[in-house]
Amino acid sequence: MEHSFELQKKHSGSDARAGVIRTAHGDVTTPVFMPVGSQGSVKALTPEDLRSVGARIVLCNAYHIYLRPGVDLISRFGDLHRFMAWDGPILTDSGGYQVFSLAPLRRIDDDGVVFRSHIDGSEHFFSPEKVIEIQEALGADIIMPLDHCPSHVDDPATLAEAMRRTHVWAERSVKARRRGDQALYGIIQGGLSAEMRRASAEFMMSLDFPGYAMGGLSLGEPKEVTFDILEKTLGHLPADRPRYLMGVGSPEDIFEGVARGVDMFDSALPTRTARNGSLFTAHGRHNILNAAFRDADFPVEEYCECYTCRHFTVAYLHHLFKSRELLAYRLASIHNLHFMIELMRDIRGSILNGSFADFKRDFLDGYVTTNEEVRMEQKNKWLRTRRESA
93 annotated active-site = yes
CA–CA dist 148, 200 (Å, integer): 13
CB–CB of 54/338 below 8 Å?
Answer: yes
CB–CB of 244/212 below 8 Å?
Answer: yes
Which residue is catalytic, options 27, 79, 93, 253?
Answer: 93
CA–CA dist 344, 178 (Å, integer): 34
CA–CA dist 273, 308 (Å, integer): 16
Which candidate, 4, 8, 33, places its Cα nearest to that of 258?
33
266 annotated active-site = yes
CA–CA dist 245, 154 (Å, integer): 21
Q: Is 109 helix (H, G, I), strand (E, B) or coil?
A: strand
Which residue is catalytic, options 49, 141, 147, 266?
Answer: 266
CB–CB of 292/272 below 8 Å?
Answer: no
Which candidate, 30, 23, 149, places its Cα nearest to that of 86?
23
Which amino acid belongs to residue 351?
I
The kind and range of the H/E element at 385 are helix 372-389
CB–CB of 197/171 below 8 Å?
Answer: no
Beta bridge partners of 266: 34
Beta bridge partners of 29: 20
Largest CA distance in the chain: 61
CA–CA dist 98, 61 (Å, integer): 9
Could you list the active site residues? 93, 266
